[in-house]
């Protein structure tokens, strides 16, 4: 049972809906720890291969940190896996899609940036406004955004705290697709379905290779070291590594095992 989010599982897809609409889906410590547990379970479940995270209602994906809770003297803490259990979760190679349905402010934007894909409603708005309240976007925003869109574009958002529309987010490069608000979840599920057509072992190897390769000192080092990455090694040893070529040879749809 969960109090601050809803969980739906359909086949190999998990959808997590942050559900605190009364505070624009802002998160306080109890919600953060609950979501951390939800994504722990997703990461450990061999039958769940892709996740979508979104917000309840039409107004907000997440307004970030619950400032009213903080101002009231509520005890502040964050799980080791970070804000929403995602912003410091570096060991999970399963893809996570952010379906941004409205405001994604501060920590809410940082949750989206921690996901692998961002699908945004045309009503979505993004910002890192922490300096307006004497804070800084230290849950990954100050580091992920420059890596994704370049330092000048990122600092243009960070140093002004300005709001960016979904369309501008796409032009800047951190949004994958913008769709009408009523079509958001359909679009997010379409992206998930395309991922689920592929070998989950290959997807995990690919995600891990991208993440670790970007941290290597050079392209040469990334190419050399990628064969030692755990998810790449697991792919080569998996049943899917045999099933893919076999299905291609037999001209049939592969039956992925994810192991």
Does this model's pTM top 0.75? My answer is yes
Marked catalytic residue, from 3, 110, 239, 243 = 110
Q: Is 130 a catalytic residue?
A: yes
Looking at the fold, whether 39 and 148 belong to one and the same domain comes out as: yes
Is 258 within the bounds of a domain? no
CATH number of 134's domain: 3.90.226.10
Is 257 within the bounds of a domain? no
The pLDDT tens digits for 68-114 are: 887 777 677 899 999 999 999 999 999 999 999 999 999 999 999 99
Looking at the fold, whether 108 and 234 belong to one and the same domain comes out as: no
Q: What was the pLDDT predicted at 72?
A: 78
The pLDDT tens digits for 106-165 are: 999 999 999 999 999 999 999 999 999 899 999 999 999 999 999 999 999 999 999 999
The pLDDT tens digits for 170-189 are: 999 999 999 999 999 999 99
Is 151 within the bounds of a domain? yes
Is 15 within the bounds of a domain? yes
Marked catalytic residue, from 47, 58, 130, 239 = 130
Boundaries of domain holding 217: 200-250
DSSP the chain: --SSEEEEEETTEEEEEE--GGGTT-B-HHHHHHHHHHHHHHHH-TT--EEEEEESSSSEEE--B-HHHHHTTPPP---TT-GGGTTT--S--S-EEEEE-SEEETHHHHHHHHSSEEEEETT-EEE--GGGGT---TTTHHHHHHHHH-HHHHHHHHTTT--EEHHHHHHHTS-SEEE-GGGHHHHHHHHHHHHHTS-HHHHHHHHHHHHHHHHSSSHHHHHHHGGGSHHHHHHHHSSHHHHHHHHHHHTS-------
Q: Is 220 a catalytic residue?
A: no
């Amino acid at each position: 049972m969960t109090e601050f989010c809803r969980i739906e599982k359909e086949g190999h897809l998990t959808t997590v809906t942050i559900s605190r609409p009364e505070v624009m889906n802002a998160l306080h410590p109890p919600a953060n720890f609950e979501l951390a547990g939800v994504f722990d379970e997703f990461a450990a479940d061999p039958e769940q291969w892709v996740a979508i995270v979104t917000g309840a209602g039409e107004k907000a994906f997440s307004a970030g940190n619950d400032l009213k809770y903080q101002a009231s003297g509520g005890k502040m803490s964050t799980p080791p896996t970070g804000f929403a259990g995602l912003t410091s979760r570096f060991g999970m190679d399963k893809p996570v899609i952010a379906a941004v349905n409205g405001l994604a402010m501060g920590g809410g934007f940082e949750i989206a940036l921690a996901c692998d894909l961002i699908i945004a409603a045309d009503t979505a708005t993004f910002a890192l406004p922490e300096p307006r309240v004497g804070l800084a976007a230290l849950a990954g925003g100050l580091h992920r955004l420059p890596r994704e869109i370049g330092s000048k574009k990122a600092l243009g958002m960070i140093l002004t705290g300005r709001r960016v529309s979904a369309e501008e987010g796409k032009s800047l490069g951190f949004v994958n697709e913008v769709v009408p608000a009523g079509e958001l979840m359909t679009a997010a599920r379409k992206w998930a379905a395309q991922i689920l057509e592929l070998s989950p072992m290959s997807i995990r190897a690919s995600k891990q290779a991208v993440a670790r390769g970007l941290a290597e000192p050079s392209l040469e080092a990334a190419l050399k070291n990628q064969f030692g990455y755990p998810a790449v090694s697991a792919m080569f040893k998996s049943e899917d590594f045999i099933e893919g070529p076999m299905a291609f040879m037999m001209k049939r749809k592969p039956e992925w095992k994810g192991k």
